[in-house]
């Protein structure tokens, strides 16, 4: 190619840079400066753990009220909100109280969960919570198919302070707190 030959003039400066390996020396200076100012960014993970942010979205859990009753009313909204089809809810009436429903079975396939938190947002009674657990590596992935008891247990160990069951709430009526989410709490 004649054009490249003409543009490639003998530039004394460039030529000197080439034969003295100038660019390579610049690179080697960079690596050496990192060696001399040794400040590793490594976190020695199992021995030291980083502080998690306040809104960390970790393992999902089912919650209870302070009197030990489950919050979940079996409305299936979490199942509808989930983009990965993690959740499966089998809803049923409470046997003695025909107006009240609960989740008879509640399954989560955590192999598919992407921790978006949309189920938590969708829940009308705040029955779902995201814990700060993240070390859930297992040898058998069937151990990540969680049932209701397991999810409640995660909630029990991660949320020791439980929400108070409101007095005005009739035990037979599910209390939907969606409308009251942005209302400042009553002074008691």
Size of the site for another protein (CB under 8 A): 14
Q: Exposed e or buried b for every residue in 78-88, given b needs 16+ CB within 10 A?
A: bbebbeeebbe
Nearer to another protein, 29 or 104 (CB): 29
Nearer to another protein, 4 or 96 (CB): 4
Residue 28 touches another protein, criterion: CB under 8 A = yes
Residue 24 touches another protein, criterion: CB under 8 A = yes
Nearer to another protein, 34 or 145 (CB): 34
Phi and psi torsions of 18, nearest 5°: -65, -50
Nearer to another protein, 33 or 96 (CB): 33
Pick one of 14, 15, 32, 136: the residue that binds another protein (CB under 8 A): 32
Residue 8 touches another protein, criterion: CB under 8 A = no
Nearer to another protein, 42 or 55 (CB): 42
**Closest to 58 in 3D by CA, of 164, 138, 129:** 129
**Closest to 59 in 3D by CA, of 165, 160, 132:** 132
Pick one of 3, 42, 51, 96: the residue that binds another protein (CB under 8 A): 42
Q: Which residues contact 90 (CB under 8 A, 6 or more apart)?
A: 74, 103, 104, 105, 106
Residue 6 touches another protein, criterion: CB under 8 A = no
Strands 87-94 and 128-130: unpaired
- The Cα 10–Cα 126 span in angstroms is 74
Residue 30 touches another protein, criterion: CB under 8 A = yes
| Residues within the interface to another protein (CB under 8 A) | 24, 27-28, 30-32, 34-35, 38-42, 44
């Amino acid at each position: 190619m004649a054009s490249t030959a003409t543009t490639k003039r003998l530039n004394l400066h460039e030529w000197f840079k080439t034969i003295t390996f100038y660019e390579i020396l610049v690179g080697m200076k960079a690596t050496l400066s990192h060696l001399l100012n040794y400040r590793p960014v490594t976190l020695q993970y199992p021995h030291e753990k980083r502080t998690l942010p306040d809104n960390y979205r970790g393992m999902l859990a089912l919650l209870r009220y302070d009197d030990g009753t489950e919050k979940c009313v079996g409305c299936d909204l979490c199942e509808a909100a989930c983009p990965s089809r993690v959740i499966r809810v089998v809803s049923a009436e409470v046997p003695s109280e025909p107006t009240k429903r609960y989740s008879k079975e509640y399954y989560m396939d955590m192999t598919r969960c992407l921790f978006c938190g949309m189920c938590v947002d969708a829940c009308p009674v705040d029955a779902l919570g995201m814990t700060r657990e993240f070390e859930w590596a297992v040898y058998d992935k069937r151990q990540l198919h969680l049932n209701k008891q397991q999810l409640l247990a995660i909630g029990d160990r991660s949320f020791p302070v439980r929400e108070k069951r409101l007095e005005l709430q009739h035990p037979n009526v599910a209390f939907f707190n969606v409308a009251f989410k942005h209302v400042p709490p009553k002074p008691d």
